[in-house]
Structure 1
Amino acid sequence: MTSRDKKRQELIEKWVKQGGFRGRINAFCIECIYDPYVKVAWRKQVEKCTAPNCPLFDIRPCSENSLDG
């Protein structure tokens, strides 16, 4: 496992342990789109998701500011 994979896996495990739907949705989105080598936080990467056909697209993690525009 590369350090990139390890960092992503640790973040996924953190959110899965949170429990509930939100933790699992966050973990799924991180697994799908997060790239630890990009100098942007995982949430910002998820906000820029370009998969509108994903069943979780409308409930993906987004800041309130990103919902305004």
Structure 2
Amino acid sequence: MKTTQIPTGARWRKSSYSGSTGGQCVEVAACTAAVAVRDSKNPEGGAFTVDAAAFAAFTRAAARDTLA
């Protein structure tokens, strides 16, 4: 397993589809070779990274609603 360092000062962003009530949201930040993902309600609770190509495939599938 490869570890990707999340840089200090990473620019985290939340989906424009996320509501303002703080529900079930995640934030993402682009890293050098990966995408970092964390819980927006607990930003200090840690994050995980996923290969950028895998994250792109996930978001395309989510947009098509084919994640069953």
**TM-score normalized by structure 2?**
0.29
Larger helix share, 1 or 2: 1
**TM-score normalized by structure 1?**
0.29
By relative contact order (CA 8 Å, sep 6+), the higher-ranking structure is: 1
Larger strand share, 1 or 2: 2
Larger Rg: 2
